[in-house]
Amino acid sequence: MRLDAGWLDCAEQCVSPNCDERPADTAISLLVLHNISLPPGQYGGSAVAEFFTNRLDCDSHPQFASLRGVRVSAHLLLRRNGSWIQFVPFGLRAWHAGVSCWQGAERCNDYSIGIELEGTDSDPYCEVQYGSLLRVIRLLARAYPITDVVGHCDIAPGRKTDPGAAFDWRRIDGWKSISDQPAMR
């Protein structure tokens, strides 16, 4: 597993238009973990990739109606089988965090990498997901000055709950949620 011009070499590339330039001289110092499944609780399929690339047919499922016109992305999606899809190169700003703040710094999209885990707040994540996630965290921490790995819930408390109670922070080898104890590199 390596990085090549901001792309993870083992990831399928599915380029999203929902990104832009980071502010000048902004270091990537934060990893934000999310979860997603479309429809909720259903795994596999192409709906998440279609959503992140503005191709989701919002009439194809009743749960998709609220997503009409929403423009979001993430850098990476980690499937339940441990495989990766990358939507945005790491040097660009993906639109994953929304209104957010970490340790007094707002606009977390400016300085973070967004990683979506295929899952829900309540379904246990897969063993292979934890292993693949840990490898990517270590790779990104070597490439960028990452200081913290947090959940979306930590940067948008009261608004977001992911990656949820089902995510076991202990499984990513010492990286902790701020809600448990200070995040460590």
Does some domain include residue 63? Answer: yes
**How many domains does one find in the chain?**
1
Does some domain include residue 71? Answer: yes
38 pLDDT band, cuts 50/70/90, is: very high
> Tens digits of per-residue pLDDT, 82-98?
999 999 999 999 999 99
Does some domain include residue 184? Answer: no
Q: Measured between alpha carbons, how far is residue 81 from residues 4, 44, 77, 89, 132 in Å?
A: 23, 9, 11, 22, 9
Helix (H, G, I), strand (E, B) or coil at 76: strand
Q: Which domain holds residue 11?
A: 3-172
- Domain of 35, CATH number, reads 3.40.80.10
Residue of 12, 21, 106, 116 with catalytic role: 116
* Interval 149-159 mean pLDDT: 96
The reply to whether 50 belongs to the active site is no
Does some domain include residue 182? Answer: no
Does some domain include residue 44? Answer: yes
> Tens digits of per-residue pLDDT, 8-21?
999 999 999 999 99
Question: What's the pLDDT score for residue 176?
Answer: 35
